[in-house]
Amino acid sequence: MQRRHFLLGSLAALPQTVRSQPPTIRVGFVGTGNRGTYLLRAAMALPGVKVAALCDIKTDRLDKAATLAGGDRPATYTDYRRLLESKDVEAVFIATPCDLHAEMAIAALEAGKHVYLEKPVGINAQQVRSLLQAASRAKTVLQVGQQLRSDERLRATIARVQEGVAGNIIMVKAQRHASEDLDHNGPSADWFFNAQRSGDVIVEMAVHNLDICNWVIGARPERAAGFGGTLLWKNEPPGRTNMDGYTLSYEYPNGVKLSFTQVFFHPSGMPGGGQYFYVYGTEGAVDLSASMYYPRARKAPPQRLVETTPERKVDTHIAAFLEAIRTGVAPPADIRVGATAALTAIMGREAIYARRVTEWREFGIDL
């Protein structure tokens, strides 16, 4: 952080004409579906970015992305390996189905590219282990798309919690409740509902939520137990193998407990839906989503820990990735963050599947 502040301070001292023209980074995009297109638009909105190449196996998506980035005249590919062979590409954004993440990221690192990898970094322990090994050998930047790590208000709130505003953390309660299932005919339907490709909803979606829980607790869990399944949307869409509801309990090395649930059938008109993170401490509790602290002492008023920050017009997580490439500063979500989050989700999934308590030590991976 000291280096980051020094770098930002040094940049602030430069003339505006210099600061507004950072060195150009030539980027490529593998996967131009919904998420890939968002990343493409977000990167193009930042200074010093040239879209050098695009790749997708679906030509209609590829054509739309090529039109969007037409001003840069990017090369187009249907085989990601051809994109990685291009010497005109310095950094790669990977936004493909989850089962391909590790394979593609490893190939990109071995090709000497900087990598922005959408979460999760893998859908099983072997994939995560292989990517960890590749990242340890690489000389380039790897940032994982755990974008909440770049949320300024959340970062400041978690800092207050870790400073002890609520005392010692003893438990976290979190949830991710939606009123409807994902679109059964949407652009991700061909892989999302297949747990062998998505890793199931806990790995594909809740990896974000579990990462926040790990972050605020300051550790990774030792064991997990839970139950779940396809409770409402049975065989919808046909052949579905992922869950639509589950509950999990985690235990951390420092004795902290985590209770987490995810459902796709919370009625929109019923209170208590959406996502939240409640952090319980010995002196009170913090609602991370609202940045509010509630003391345990009777009649003590709640306190706002962090004021609402103005909405950014650029994606700060992508901006951080580019800064890491240009300056060498550590990215906010490196491979260790991504691997820990993915393995936390995988451990919970396996506890549900096997109906037993699973333990981190079974991975044989120490983070």
- Taking residue 267's Cβ as centre, other Cβ atoms within 10 Å add up to 11
Q: What is the mean pLDDT of residues 170-187?
A: 96
What is the pLDDT at residue 8?
37
The per-residue pLDDT for range 74-107, each reduced to its tens digit, is 999 999 999 999 999 999 999 999 999 999 999 9
Same domain assignment for residues 188 and 228: yes
What is the pLDDT at residue 19?
52
Please check whether residue 273 is in contact with residue 285, taking contact to mean a CB–CB distance below 8 angstroms: no
Q: Which of 272, 227, 273, 250 is nearest to 341 (CA)?
A: 250
Average pLDDT, the chain: 94
Same domain assignment for residues 114 and 225: no
What is the pLDDT at residue 313?
75
DSSP character at residue 145: -
Same domain assignment for residues 128 and 44: yes
The per-residue pLDDT for range 204-239, each reduced to its tens digit, is 999 999 999 999 999 999 999 999 999 999 999 999
The per-residue pLDDT for range 281-308, each reduced to its tens digit, is 999 999 999 999 999 998 999 999 998 7
Same domain assignment for residues 121 and 22: yes
CATH of residue 274's domain is: 3.30.360.10
Q: How far apart are the first and last CA of the chain?
A: 21
Same domain assignment for residues 275 and 326: no
What is the pLDDT at residue 20?
63
The per-residue pLDDT for range 116-128, each reduced to its tens digit, is 999 999 999 999 9
What is the pLDDT at residue 11?
40
CATH of residue 138's domain is: 3.40.50.720
Confidence of residue 198 (pLDDT cuts 50, 70, 90): very high
Residue where the block lists tokens 């913090």: 286
> Percent of the chain at pLDDT above 70?
95
* 14 pLDDT more than 50: no
* 6 pLDDT more than 60: no
Same domain assignment for residues 19 and 141: yes
Q: Which residues contact 7 (CB under 8 A, 6 or more apart)?
A: 323, 327, 329
Same domain assignment for residues 205 and 253: yes
Please check whether residue 303 is in contact with residue 292, taking contact to mean a CB–CB distance below 8 angstroms: yes
Confidence of residue 172 (pLDDT cuts 50, 70, 90): very high
Same domain assignment for residues 117 and 165: no
Same domain assignment for residues 65 and 96: yes
Q: What is the mean pLDDT of residues 362-367?
A: 93
Please check whether residue 30 is in contact with residue 104, taking contact to mean a CB–CB distance below 8 angstroms: yes
Same domain assignment for residues 201 and 347: yes
**DSSP helix/strand/coil, 97:** coil
- Taking residue 307's Cβ as centre, other Cβ atoms within 10 Å add up to 8
- How many domains does the chain contain in total? 2
Q: Which residues contact 248 (CB under 8 A, 6 or more apart)?
A: 202, 224, 225, 226, 228, 258, 259, 260, 261, 348, 351, 352
Buried-state track 3-33, b at ≥16 Cβ within 10 A, e below 16:
eeeeeeeeeeeeeeeeeeebeebbbbbbbbb
What is the pLDDT at residue 95?
98
Same domain assignment for residues 77 and 30: yes
Question: Rounded distance, CA 325 to CA 159, Å?
Answer: 26
Which domain covers residue 254, as residue numbers?
152-307+342-363
Q: Which amino acid is at 153?
A: R
Same domain assignment for residues 223 and 359: yes
Per-residue CA distances from 179 to 75, 243, 262, 273 (Å): 41, 15, 11, 8
What is the pLDDT at residue 16?
43
* 246 pLDDT more than 80: yes
What is the pLDDT at residue 229?
98
